Structure 1
């Protein structure tokens, strides 16, 4: 049973002792390394200084003249937020944003290319910083599209990059233009110093991550040669704070996404004139079913990945009652005991919605469709339920059966939403395959670099791998066996976390600066020495 399996990898504090990087050891010796080994390295120019005071390697190449605004992740984020790249489900208009970012790469003498899709002005942008060896490239994956906004619910213009009370507001500030700004600015700082990397670094700013037909899967099908890489970093792992909402507590890197699937609840009734209400109302039936399902939680399941996460969280928190609740949950030997302890964990957590989501398959009511005229009682009402399963926990097919069992007396039909033309069984088999896919290995140069950067940037925090409660665009790479990881490189409090896909989305200005330093140190691991 997944609940009783112990994690294969021990929880690591920030700054673990890492194994040697096989890809690096196999790389050909560069001219710079040769000069160093033969004593001629003493004639090289002295290097710059890393963020945080670490001495940088002396560059062989002349430093590039890069605009100071592009070296500042805050200034770059403001530029990104000014572009309305809302994606309503059919793909966003991302060309203007891509052209702005291409100009940034052009000014840094970095080769970049806009890849148009069949939808007008819906594009990908690929930049490639050439490395000094043939080691497998590192790919940074950041999406340019954002979810729609409810402008009336925002306290500021969502596309103005407003800064107030130490936070920058805007659609995409967290997800994920903030991360993109940190990625790009940190790379440009290295280039500005004249640094070179031991391998190619590909920066893909993709489109249609927030739904749409021309996302990373389309790009992989049509332009795999441009994005073929040995490791990928994208959005994901959360940097959590202690109860004071500011002190870094837990720095995580996600190595696995939850399994995404949708259900439709469908109720049928008698269509008639609205002057004659009747007990056979489709909308009323659907409402009763939703109320019944809303109060239910799927069973808690702990997998090796989530056990390791919660073990790290227990070590990281300064809240003793919260730590004790986690320890009780991890030690539970029966389902009732595990459920009681998990409820206590969620109750005591400073991030309750996140931790509830990491413990089980979730279901969220997202789209309702019923009625077409005010004087007609409709014959059909439908509700879309978005679900996210824990890989290695409860299988999607078992969750579906559970939901159907719970609603069997509510006079509604529960349908699994598959791909066009796909049968339910075929859809379940596809989900079984996704469910069974293992997490990305932690034995990679990129994972090691993330851990090193965490130790240097957040020395008082615990570092650990984790499960992402949402989804990413990593599938084209991970399905080919390429390890993929995720970070949002800034410390967030719970209010900021809830702002993701919500109203008044924002991150702290100081956290973005610190997160950019984190990314700078991460990329330093790949600088030629």
Structure 2
């Protein structure tokens, strides 16, 4: 018998314990299983406090800390204290970086390495968006497991990924690993809004988070149409960015017994109807074109593959728009793919009225405008939308920071869009490719654009490559619940995703 290498022995031991390749990898690529509905679900299971190396137990503990907020920053200190206890138990030094907001901190754990290479930064934000509790079938902060699913706000975005990063790294530490560089685990606050997020951290404490390369949230591991089998593994190397605008309608304030077809609310409704039918042209910058080219080879759906190839081969704008619509219609992840292809509008808020017997004089809707790098110019889009709304007797205003002009905001968006994509010739990118192909045999890999913005910007502005990764397989429904109701993640997908991260880090061992 050929002797096993050190890595082989470690993997064999973890597989036998049910935490490695033989367990979760086989499960993730098995046949289809129908999602468990709230009505038919079994009683929830809970987990006891663990040492941090079981990603599911760790994710449950993370989810049970309510770190939610609506843009003013959360309360993250108790969450950070829970993380610190697990790192300190294995001798890894930790640090809290307080922000000016009480009990809202950035958390850092540093696993020392040989220093042969600059540090690797693993970024996972600790805060989450708030919830509509009345629309959840489970406690959003309960960390319940029902059937195959782990429920909770942040299970996908991004406490699930944070638990995968931390569990994989802790597992190496407990095995006595020594790395060729420092590995820094960061749980940053205010990623979902607030004044003291990654930009504040980098501007004020860069020495704590300086790195040669970083990994954050971003690229998806998309499932085939069966919802379980892995189809495409992407590592994002660039983000979209966005701005917030308001559609403002005015009318005459009067008694509710005097209905007015030209009331502010009526005018706003007509204007939003116009915007809801707006479709920006499809853009195919190189990064997006290459992504869809690989997706065409990865999907098991021949009709979808044909539509993608027609899109990639389109000879003019009319064809691109036509085939782009077909790709989105046939995709099992339509919202992701639509956002990769064009500028998008999302209606995120509305306000009007203050008493039931008064027709108000003003009605306002908040609209998030998302832009594709190397796509449409933000100023041109805003001008086009204003022309489109010209007959609706409404105004489109950009929401700017205090003292900031609209043009300054547009220039900031242009700068964000102009950030170069992170290089793919690094050892970290290569170790992700190798690990993805080991853990998900036969899966296609590709660098990608992310459909949203992340904490990566401040590091990319300093020339640091940042890669985005959600390491677990997701179906369309799972992605839809991100920031939505009954957010949930497959338990076996989380375990397999953690194995992916473990194998990535294994490459750095000496």
**The two structures share one fold, judged by TM-score above 0.5:** yes
1:117-174, CA deviations, whole angstroms, 9 ceiling, x for partnerless residues? Answer: 1111111101111111252111011001111111111111111111112111111111
1:451 is aligned to: 433
1:243 is aligned to: 225
1:334 is aligned to: 316
Q: 2:401 aligns with which of 419, 438, 445?
A: 419
- RMSD between superposed Cα atoms in Å: 1.6
Asked whether the equivalents of residues 230 and 482 of structure 1 are also in contact (C-alpha less than 8 Å), the reply is yes
Q: 1:68 to 1:171 in 2, by over 3 A?
A: closer
Asked whether the equivalents of residues 55 and 167 of structure 2 are also in contact (C-alpha less than 8 Å), the reply is yes
Asked whether the equivalents of residues 51 and 520 of structure 1 are also in contact (C-alpha less than 8 Å), the reply is no
1:192-341 to structure 2, matched below 5 A, reads 192-341=174-323
1:15 is aligned to: none
Q: Does 1:394 align with 2:354?
A: no
2:138 is aligned to: 156
Q: Which runs of 5+ in 1 are unaligned?
A: 1-44, 56-66
Asked whether the equivalents of residues 73 and 190 of structure 2 are also in contact (C-alpha less than 8 Å), the reply is yes
Q: C-alpha distance in 2, partners of 1:114/1:134?
A: 26
Q: 1:46 to 1:437 in 2, by over 3 A?
A: closer
Q: C-alpha distance in 2, partners of 1:304/1:46?
A: 41
Asked whether the equivalents of residues 52 and 517 of structure 1 are also in contact (C-alpha less than 8 Å), the reply is no
1:183 is aligned to: 165
2:118 is aligned to: 136
Q: Determine helix, strand or coil for the equivalent of 1:518.
A: helix
Q: Determine helix, strand or coil for the equivalent of 2:118.
A: strand
Q: C-alpha distance in 2, partners of 1:489/1:52?
A: 21
2:418 is aligned to: 436
Q: Which runs of 5+ in 2 are unaligned?
A: 16-48
2:365 is aligned to: 383
What is the CA distance between 1:52 and its match in structure 2?
A: 6.6
Q: 1:70 to 1:391 in 2, by over 3 A?
A: same
Q: C-alpha distance in 2, partners of 1:407/1:340?
A: 24
Normalising by structure 1, we get a TM-score of: 0.87
2:41 is aligned to: none
Q: Determine helix, strand or coil for the equivalent of 2:375.
A: coil
What is the CA distance between 1:46 and its match in structure 2?
A: 5.7
Q: 1:68 to 1:100 in 2, by over 3 A?
A: closer
1:167-178 to structure 2, matched below 5 A, reads 167-178=149-160
Q: 1:501 to 1:47 in 2, by over 3 A?
A: closer
What is the CA distance between 1:510 and its match in structure 2?
A: 0.7
Normalising by structure 2, we get a TM-score of: 0.90
Q: C-alpha distance in 2, partners of 1:155/1:231?
A: 40
Asked whether the equivalents of residues 48 and 193 of structure 1 are also in contact (C-alpha less than 8 Å), the reply is no
2:104 is aligned to: 122
Q: C-alpha distance in 1, partners of 2:296/2:252?
A: 54
How many residue pairs get aligned? The number is 473
2:36 is aligned to: none
Q: C-alpha distance in 1, partners of 2:123/2:423?
A: 18
